[in-house]
Amino acid sequence: MIYVLPTELSKAGLKKIRRKLEKQNSIFSQKKYLDGLYLPSHIIGRKKQAEELLLHIESLRQGFVVPVISVYGRSGSGKSTLVKFVCNNIDDLACFAFANLRKAKTVFGCANIILSEFGMPSLKSADGINKTVDVLAKCISERLESHGKKFMILVLDEYDAIFSDKRNNPSDFMYKLLTLEEELRQKDLWLCIITISNNALSEYTLDDRIKSRMGNSEVFFPPYTKDDISQILKDRAEKAFTKKIEDKIVQYCAEIGSAEHGDARRALDLLRVAGELCDGTKITIHDIDSANQKLQKDRLELVVTNASYHQKHLIGAICRNLLNDDSGWTATSAIYDRYKSIIQDDVNPLSYRRISDLLVELKNTGLVHSRTISRGRAGYGTEYRLLFSPHMVGPYVGKEWWDRVVSKKLRKDTANALLDRLKPRSRRQSSYNSIFKKYGI
Ligand SMILES: Nc1ncnc2c1ncn2[C@@H]1O[C@H](COP(=O)(O)OP(=O)(O)OP(=O)(O)O)[C@@H](O)[C@H]1O
Ligand SMILES: [Mg+2]
């Protein structure tokens, strides 16, 4: 069989695309300043958090080492940036290694990522976690020795990853790291671990003996305000664009970035994408709106397509409930019932408790909002609202499934409209099937 490409990409075609992109990018002088991974040479605000971090770190000089510093706060609140910035600027005192654990699926994977920061090849899981900790001890000693230092700071960014391993115990891993700290001390080498996470509650699942050994040195990053974000944006926009960006544009981006989570990354992305979408000479409010829509769609797709089986069905359950509910809110119990009804028959449903946890995780992704409502004597309950239309989210859960759900609803709505004319509402339930049959809906 001969395959024919639908369109041919000629040299001239490629040139045309490049010219178009060149024109699009002509508004940027240095786009890297709008990159979410860019490490700025100076930090706007966050003085309190820098002081708190330094207070813990500087006590190294007095021979006092905090075993673990927990840094936490919402996404885009500047945690990774500030910790890196501080660590980069204390090289007179300590060596530091920065491991981002996001890609790890298991505790063993986390250990390998840490080792790779020290230039070590990955170990096999058959080697066991003890071996990885032994190798890490050796790497730390060697690094300190070669730099003529006594203090090591090990940053574990996106530390929540160790809690996603359901088979291995994160407490054991932390226990081993804390034991490693103690062993190094006997050689007059001092290790301090900084954990960075979105969720302050994740650590509560650790065993009490570990929590007490970790101490409670915490640094909290509150979400940015609109003013904070507009300052960050102004600073970056000056370097990133060839022309001055109007103040109202910066303010508008800051407003969107601060509206839900006080997220500086989101605001920077917004400005960058608006720059890419604009006519190459000027960014307008309309460009920001289009950029916002594009980013939301991209984010939505990323969250839903990367979700686990149960999470995906949970999202599906919320969409399904909200399709029938004009209030826009659906309660945990209703979501749980729906979730159980839509998962495959041969799959065991997760417990109500676990589903409540997954809903909190979903909230952290920015897909849903929650509110607590009082149910009188029945106590308090939580309700959820999608931040996107169910028609936008549903197809990502499963295109065919969603089409079926929507067409079923359409049939029901049509039948309702007919019944409204024929029968009082109280006698309706039993009549759907006969109506479907009679009118061929
Ligand atoms: N105070 C600040 N000054 C300058 N730039 C900042 C500041 N805070 C955040 N940024 C910029 O915002 C973006 C996001 O920040 P960062 O990656 O540190 O957030 P985070 O809290 O680690 O988020 P996540 O939890 O999603 O990892 C980065 O591009 C960073 O350079
Ligand atoms: Mg980060």
Residues lying with their CB under 5 A of ligand 2, a single-atom ion: 80
The residue whose CA has the least distance to atom 28 of ligand 1 is 36
Lowest mean pLDDT among 91-100, 154-163, 413-422: 413-422
Altogether, the residues listed in the chain come to a count of 441
Please name the residues in contact with 38: beta carbons below 8 A apart, sequence gap of 6 or more.
32
Is the pLDDT reported for residue 50 higher than 90? Answer: yes
Return all residues near 116 (Cβ < 8 A) that are at least 6 apart: 99, 122
Strand, coil or helix: what is 379? coil
Which two tokens mark 235? 């600073």
Q: 46 CA distance to ligand 1 centroid (A)?
A: 11
Calculate mean pLDDT across residues 65-89: 92
Q: How far is the CA of 156 from the centre of ligand 2 (A)?
A: 10
**CA-to-CA distance for 407 and 266, rounded, in angstroms?**
36
Nearest partner of 253 among 234, 276, 279, 280, judged by Cα? 234
Residue bearing the CA closest to ligand 1, atom 4: 43
The more confident residue out of 42 and 212 is: 42
pLDDT tens digits for 107-165?
A: 899 999 999 999 999 898 888 889 999 999 999 999 999 999 999 999 999 998 888 77
Nearest residue to 261 via CA among 359, 390, 367: 367
CATH superfamily of 59-221: P-loop containing nucleotide triphosphate hydrolases (3.40.50.300)
Residue 12 has what pLDDT? 84
Please give the CATH topology (third level) of the domain spanning 22-39+224-303. Answer: Helicase, Ruva Protein; domain 3 (1.10.8)
Specify the DSSP element, H or E, that contains 156.
Answer: strand 151-157
Question: What is the pLDDT at residue 158?
Answer: 92
Give distance in angstroms: CA of 155 to centre of ligand 2.
11
Taking Cα atoms as reference points, which of 312, 354, 319 lies closest to residue 334?
319
Q: Where are the domains of the chain?
A: 22-39+224-303, 59-221, 309-397, 410-441
Q: Is the pLDDT of residue 262 over 50?
A: yes
Decide whether any atom of ligand 1 lies within 6 Å of the 338 Cβ: no
For a pLDDT cut of 70, what percent of the chain falls above it?
92
**Atom number of ligand 1 nearest to Cα 264:** 12
Tokens 């826009």 correspond to 328
- The pLDDT mean for the chain works out to 87
pLDDT, tens digit, 9 for 90 and up, residues 350-404: 999 999 989 988 887 878 989 988 877 777 889 999 988 899 999 999 999 999 9
**What's the chain's Rg over C-alpha atoms?**
27
Quick one: DSSP state of residue 150? S
Strands (E), 175-242: 190-197, 217-221
Is 49 a pocket residue for ligand 1 (Cβ < 6 Å)?
A: no
Mean pLDDT of 286-294: 93
Mean pLDDT of 297-314: 89
Domain 309-397 has CATH 1.10.10.10: yes
197 lines ligand 1 (CB under 6 A): no
Q: Is the pLDDT of residue 185 over 70?
A: yes
Rounded distance between C-alpha atoms, residue 33 and residue 107, angstroms: 34
Q: Which pLDDT value is given to residue 1?
A: 46
Confidence band of 24 (pLDDT split at 50, 70, 90): confident
Q: Is the CB of 198 under 6 A from ligand 1?
A: yes
Q: Annotate 356-381 with b (16+ C-beta within 10 A) or e (fewer).
A: eebbebbeebbbbeeeeeeeeeeeee
The predicted structure's pLDDT at residue 13: 83
Q: Is the pLDDT of residue 269 over 60?
A: yes
Better-predicted residue by pLDDT, 215 or 71 = 71
* 40 CB within 6 A, ligand 1: yes
With a 6 Å cutoff on the Cβ, whether 80 touches ligand 1 is yes
CA of 63 to the centre of ligand 1 (A): 31
* Cα 41 to middle of ligand 2, angstroms: 17
Cβ of 38 closer than 6 Å to ligand 1, yes or no, is yes
Distance between CA 322 and CA 326 in Å, rounded? Answer: 7
Looking at per-residue pLDDT, the higher value among 341 and 200 belongs to 341
